[in-house]
Amino acid sequence: MRLLQTILLYLVASVCFVSCSRKQHAASSTVEVKKAETKTVVRKVPKTPTPKIITVDDRAAIKTPDGRLYYDLGGKRYWKNFNDGKYYLYNKTMYNDAAFKPH
């Protein structure tokens, strides 16, 4: 009986050592499941053209110390032409023009 227990113990121990030394991983399936590719659509926002002339109520405009009126719209500055009452996009020639100075 003792011999049978010893043989059985060696058999179980050898099976454990052999089975633990072989690391078998589950084989990956040959059929690959592709995930649905999601692409984010980046739409360009069309740039709105900057108008050259705008009409603004004078109460919304800002007055400078020398009496000129201006209005800021979309990061652009518009100056009032006192001859026709419209606001024009700033350019260098406006500074000395008499039409942009109050009468």
Report the C-alpha gap between 87 and 77 in whole angstroms.
Answer: 9
Residue 33 has pLDDT above 60, yes or no: yes
DSSP lists the bridge partners of residue 89 as 78
Q: Which of 12-21, 52-61, 92-101 is predicted with the least confidence, judged by mean pLDDT?
A: 12-21
Strands lying side by side in the sheet with 87-89: 53-54, 87-89, 76-80, 69-73, 62-63
Residue whose tokens read 């800021």: 72
Q: What are phi and psi of 54, to 5 degrees?
A: -130, 160
What's the chain's average pLDDT?
85
pLDDT of the residue at 12: 80
Q: Give SS3 for 60.
A: coil
pLDDT tens figures, 34-85 = 677 788 888 998 988 899 999 999 999 999 999 999 999 989 999 999 999 9
- What is the predicted pLDDT for the residue at 28? 63
The dihedral region occupied by 85, where left means phi > 0, alpha psi between -120 and 50, and beta the remainder, is: left
Structure tokens at 29: 């399936």
What's the average model confidence in pLDDT over 81-91?
Answer: 94
Question: Which helix (DSSP H) or strand (DSSP E) does residue 7 occupy?
Answer: helix 2-21
What's the pLDDT at 41? 87
| pTM listed for this prediction | 0.55
